[in-house]
A and B are shown apart, each in its own frame.
Chain A
Amino acid sequence: MIRVGFLINPIAGMGGTVGLKGTDGVLAEALRRGAVPGAAKRAKTALSLIDGGPVHFFTCSGAMGEDALRETGITSFTVVYRGSEMTSEQDTRVACRAFIENNVELVLFCGGDGTARVIYEEAGDRLPVLGIPAGVKMYSAVFAVTPAAAAGLVNAITRDGWSGRPGSGHTGVLLRDTEVVDVDEDAYRNGELRTRLFGFAKSPGLPGFVQGTKQVWEEREEERAKDDIARFVYEIISATPEILYILGPGTTTSAVMQKFGVEKTLLGFDALKDCRPAGRDLNEKDMLALLERGQKARLVISIIGAQGSVLGRGTQQVSPDVLKRIGVENVIVVATPHKVRETPLIFIDTGDTALDRSFGNYIRIITGYHIAQRKGLGLPSGPERPEMTDP
């Protein structure tokens, strides 16, 4: 029996149907334009695919969870929070605290990036969080690709347990670090994507083995892969101490820093020179100062968000100016095999199109010790891979 906190943000996803992007702060306008709540429907799709037997849900009253559970015929649940009719951020927050008090081992929620951020603020990086996508914009990596995929992951947890725990062998569901990304909705409504990395949650992911075919692959558990990458990057940095290394946000780059005995700012950019810290949480001006006088530098950066931006407009510290000084050939992208697999589209969006193009059609991603993968770089509109089928 696993204990799952379950919550719906009933107004998530409403803006999209009436031509608004996101609902935070524009709910009244959305309702006026005739938006219909869609989150409940997507949540029910997921619930109907979950093998209910071994799950006990802790949830909220009415539209925030209880209704959907009832309507899909699930009876094993306890309402631990009674909220208001017009739900708000505060409801999500308090419900989440109630889940934690009830020792849930997973928070399953249906909502958008805004909901993800609020839950992350409460759950932190200890309690696993899994999103059923409902909002119009899902840049955070805590979301499963579809409601069905979310159900599949819950079923995998009840069937195989968590990877790395006793008895689970290779089959358990692994925990991966997932970026919680906050999108500036005002800017987004004006057609501009400006994301901010908010933090790293823990979310369930498929095991490191491709299921069904029982094929053994290079993808191993996340932590292991992360350590392989960190070991490789550590050796590169140690052997080229004269180069200034700027490490971007994330847990993989943190693992690299750890090998030097240095604590990394999780969300910021830190620098290393001569294997020693050369700056913490750098802004654009700090970086430009470090790059004075032709200092040779490399930027080590991970893939951020479900949409897979490598240098998005959210990473404003690394301005086009900074990047030009470092040189695109000196950008080392790192990501675990799992992250690469779960990210169908990888793109670079620095705000300077010519600079974006100078990365070429492909990007090399370090995915292990002495191992890299080549991936096609997409425009945010769709991936590209030159086909060879017709000469």
Chain B
Amino acid sequence: MYIFVQGILVGMQTRILLDEDQIPQKWYNIIADLPSPMDPPLHPATKKPVTPDDLSPIFPMELIRQEVSDRRYIDIPDEVRDVLRLWRPSPLYRARRLEQHLKTPAKIYFKWEGVSPAGSHKPNTAVAQAYYNMKQGIERLATETGAGQWGSALALATQIFGLECTIYMVRASYEQKPYRKSVMQVWGAECIPSPSTRTNSGKAVLEKDPDTTGSLGIAISEAVEDAKTHDNTNYALGSVLNHVCLHQTVIGLEAREQLAIVDEYPDVVIGCVGGGSNFAGVSFPFAGDKLTGKHPDIDIIGAEPSACPTLTKGLYAYDFGDVAGLTPLMKMFTLGHDFVPPAIHAGGLRYHGDSPIVSRLVHDGVMRAVAYYQNEVFDAAQMFARTEGLIVAPESAHAVKAAIDCALECRKTGEAKTILFNNSGHGDFDMSSYDAYYGGKLIDYEYPADLIRDSLGRLPKIP
């Protein structure tokens, strides 16, 4: 595998690949390795812990079981693994040209999830969710989508398993990325800009603010309402929930195997964070190693936008997952469920809350978070494209930025750290965002946390 020519190492492997039959057989459930149980989700009305019966109107039983399971490993059904073969195992790359450009002693590896048909990590869970709903006789799934990646993924998955699909797409993205809607149409789904007049939640928002750019929180309200009001319809969420994070662990499980092939184990693991699912996916297997003492020193970093800095500036508290307050209350880092983040181009990171497990691990110090401005994120994406060739999604670019910063830090300290980051998706439908970047139109939004805290009388209201 290594070739030496006159003592110089050349032609080292760039892509580290696994065979199809090395797709993980089981998902890893990090809840089994937490030192104490998670704070339970609470019913929005009674504020009592939710029961499976509360969730069954919108989720299939098997997903509810996974949501609350404390088994360390959960079998991936063969039917699901069969579909995953379309693109899994995804390649692990060594970003050697980027390393050279940065003149860093660090080694940068990244997992490339842009190879899925929908272009991101999202199909990893979409396939599983569509499968379990199909098994339970559900005919239609309703969901929200931010950047359009999740909507595309669920459109693909429902098409494969013969379900109908209705997608509420955040209006800012719907207009920024018109071709995402076409993709969903190709895969047989219906895509509606949110807020819409289809639902009461959507109508309420439009009444208050007809020009709203929408947000994930609003779109979730719409999709949940749609599912609650139609018997044949369930709801599917593309991030945040435990079972979604669980399905994404194939990323980290594969990466750990792939790194082992080249005799590596990461010192740093990085992912971008919207609702937390791809970050969970790449990092949970390693966070598990940290929790169980196998690798206590690993540094795990989530990268989020300064415009919506949930983990770095939010409160760790119970809050709703959506704007209308239809979802259970979850203990998580939150900026408040009524916060409408500014219309940044990383639409998939515009979420006021975060995965309760990721939140818990950040709160406990097992992981940490950093926040970046739009322009510096696109600077990083451009550097990555010019060295490694891949044009990444604006969301993923946050992880690229964090990896670059980490590698530059190594240049200062001289440490030869091994960095692993998850490259969650390609930017093929995001060229209008790159255009805006080159046109000098990207606004460096930030969340004035100190002043907001002041304005809340230093006593934030927890619902």
Q: Is there an interface contact between A388 and B172, defined as CB atoms closer than 8 Å?
A: no
Is B456 in the interface zone, CB < 8 Å from A? yes
Tell me how far the C-beta of A302 lies from the nearest C-beta in chain B, rounded to whole angstroms: 16
Given A218-B343, A368-B342, 12 new contacts (CB under 8 A): A215-B172, A215-B432, A216-B213, A216-B343, A238-B455, A370-B447, A371-B342, A374-B373, A374-B446, A388-B376, A389-B379, A389-B383
Q: Is there an interface contact between A218 and B342, defined as CB atoms closer than 8 Å?
A: yes
In the bound assembly, the distance between CA atoms of A220 and B339 in angstroms comes to 17
Which of chain A's residues have a CB closer than 8 A to the CB of B447?
A: 370-372
Is B103 in the interface zone, CB < 8 Å from A? yes
Which of chain B's residues have a CB closer than 8 A to the CB of A370?
A: 339, 447-448, 452
In the bound assembly, the distance between CA atoms of A371 and B336 in angstroms comes to 13
29 A-B contacts (beta carbon < 8 Å):
A215-B175, A216-B343, A217-B172, A217-B213, A217-B343, A218-B342, A218-B445, A232-B455, A238-B455, A239-B454, A239-B456, A239-B458, A337-B443, A340-B443, A364-B448, A366-B451, A370-B447, A370-B448, A371-B447, A372-B445, A372-B448, A374-B373, A374-B444, A374-B445, A388-B376, A388-B380, A388-B383, A388-B404, A389-B383
Is A87 in the interface zone, CB < 8 Å from B? no
A364-B446 in contact given A388-B383, A391-B408 (Cβ < 8 Å): yes
Tell me how far the C-beta of B137 lies from the nearest C-beta in chain A, rounded to whole angstroms: 39
In the bound assembly, the distance between CA atoms of A70 and B451 in angstroms comes to 56
Which of chain A's residues have a CB closer than 8 A to the CB of B458?
A: 239
Is A240 in the interface zone, CB < 8 Å from B? yes
Q: In the complex, which of the residues A214, A373, A387 contacts B445, with contact meaning CB atoms closer than 8 Å?
A: A373
Q: Mark A214-239, 1 if CB is under 8 A from B, else 0.
A: 11111010000000000010011011
Is B200 in the interface zone, CB < 8 Å from A? no
Q: Give the nearest-CB partner of A213 in chain B.
A: B432
In the bound assembly, the distance between CA atoms of A336 and B408 in angstroms comes to 36
Is B7 in the interface zone, CB < 8 Å from A? no
Tell me how far the C-beta of B95 lies from the nearest C-beta in chain A, rounded to whole angstroms: 14
Tell me how far the C-beta of B378 lies from the nearest C-beta in chain A, rounded to whole angstroms: 10
In the bound assembly, the distance between CA atoms of A387 and B376 in angstroms comes to 8
Q: Give the nearest-CB partner of B432 in chain A.
A: A213
A391-B448 in contact given A215-B176, A373-B443 (Cβ < 8 Å): no
Residues 240-291 (chain A) with a chain B CB within 8 angstroms: 240
Q: Is there an interface contact between A216 and B383, defined as CB atoms closer than 8 Å?
A: no
In the bound assembly, the distance between CA atoms of A370 and B445 in angstroms comes to 11
Q: Mark A57-72, 1 if CB is under 8 A from B, else 0.
A: 0000000000000000
In the bound assembly, the distance between CA atoms of A218 and B458 in angstroms comes to 27
For chain B, give the interface size range: 35 or more
In the bound assembly, the distance between CA atoms of A385 and B444 in angstroms comes to 12
Q: Is there an interface contact between B446 and A220, defined as CB atoms closer than 8 Å?
A: no
Is B263 in the interface zone, CB < 8 Å from A? no
Q: Give the nearest-CB partner of B457 in chain A.
A: A239
Which of chain A's residues have a CB closer than 8 A to the CB of B457?
A: 239
A220-B211 in contact given A364-B448, A373-B445, A388-B383 (Cβ < 8 Å): yes
For chain A, give the interface size range: 20 to 34
Which of chain A's residues have a CB closer than 8 A to the CB of B456?
A: 239
Q: In the complex, which of the residues A215, A220, A371, A389 contacts B382, with contact meaning CB atoms closer than 8 Å?
A: A389
In the bound assembly, the distance between CA atoms of A258 and B446 in angstroms comes to 26
Tell me how far the C-beta of B130 lies from the nearest C-beta in chain A, rounded to whole angstroms: 30
A232-B444 in contact given A218-B343, A388-B380 (Cβ < 8 Å): no
Q: Is there an interface contact between A388 and B379, defined as CB atoms closer than 8 Å?
A: yes
Which of chain A's residues have a CB closer than 8 A to the CB of B380?
A: 388
Tell me how far the C-beta of A334 lies from the nearest C-beta in chain B, rounded to whole angstroms: 11
Is A194 in the interface zone, CB < 8 Å from B? no
Tell me how far the C-beta of B282 lies from the nearest C-beta in chain A, rounded to whole angstroms: 24
In the bound assembly, the distance between CA atoms of A366 and B342 in angstroms comes to 12
Is B171 in the interface zone, CB < 8 Å from A? yes
The 10 lowest CB-CB distance pairs between A and B, nearest first, are A235-B455, A388-B379, A239-B457, A374-B444, A372-B448, A236-B455, A372-B446, A218-B342, A236-B454, A216-B175
Is A210 in the interface zone, CB < 8 Å from B? yes
Which of chain B's residues have a CB closer than 8 A to the CB of A364?
A: 446, 448
Q: Give the nearest-CB partner of B405 in chain A.
A: A388
Q: Mark A377-390, 1 if CB is under 8 A from B, else 0.
A: 00000000101110
Is B411 in the interface zone, CB < 8 Å from A? yes
Q: In the complex, which of the residues A214, A368, A373, A391 contacts B411, with contact meaning CB atoms closer than 8 Å?
A: A391
Q: Is there an interface contact between A218 and B213, defined as CB atoms closer than 8 Å?
A: yes
Tell me how far the C-beta of A29 lies from the nearest C-beta in chain B, rounded to whole angstroms: 40
Q: Give the nearest-CB partner of B178 in chain A.
A: A214
Which of chain A's residues have a CB closer than 8 A to the CB of B436?
A: 215
Which of chain A's residues have a CB closer than 8 A to the CB of B432?
A: 213, 215
Is B294 in the interface zone, CB < 8 Å from A? no
Q: Give the nearest-CB partner of A376 in chain B.
A: B444
Tell me how far the C-beta of A360 lies from the nearest C-beta in chain B, rounded to whole angstroms: 14
Which of chain B's residues have a CB closer than 8 A to the CB of A375?
A: 444
Is A193 in the interface zone, CB < 8 Å from B? no
In the bound assembly, the distance between CA atoms of A23 and B304 in angstroms comes to 53
Is A49 in the interface zone, CB < 8 Å from B? no
Which of chain A's residues have a CB closer than 8 A to the CB of B306?
A: 374
Is B102 in the interface zone, CB < 8 Å from A? yes
Which of chain B's residues have a CB closer than 8 A to the CB of A368?
A: 342
Q: Is there an interface contact between B444 and A366, defined as CB atoms closer than 8 Å?
A: no
Which of chain B's residues have a CB closer than 8 A to the CB of A170?
A: 211
In the bound assembly, the distance between CA atoms of A368 and B380 in angstroms comes to 28
Which of chain A's residues have a CB closer than 8 A to the CB of B382?
A: 389
Q: Is there an interface contact between A391 and B102, defined as CB atoms closer than 8 Å?
A: yes
Which of chain B's residues have a CB closer than 8 A to the CB of A385?
A: 375
Which of chain A's residues have a CB closer than 8 A to the CB of B172?
A: 215-217
Residues 107-163 (chain A) with a chain B CB within 8 angstroms: none
In the bound assembly, the distance between CA atoms of A372 and B309 in angstroms comes to 12
In the bound assembly, the distance between CA atoms of A236 and B453 in angstroms comes to 8
A236-B451 in contact given A220-B211, A371-B445, A373-B443 (Cβ < 8 Å): yes
Most A CB atoms within 10 A — which of B339, B446, B448?
A: B448
In the bound assembly, the distance between CA atoms of A372 and B373 in angstroms comes to 12
Tell me how far the C-beta of B346 lies from the nearest C-beta in chain A, rounded to whole angstroms: 14
Is B101 in the interface zone, CB < 8 Å from A? yes
Q: Mark B431-463, 1 if CB is under 8 A from A, else 0.
A: 010011000010111111001101111100000
In the bound assembly, the distance between CA atoms of A235 and B458 in angstroms comes to 12
Which of chain B's residues have a CB closer than 8 A to the CB of A213?
A: 432, 435
Which of chain B's residues have a CB closer than 8 A to the CB of A215?
A: 172, 175-176, 432, 436
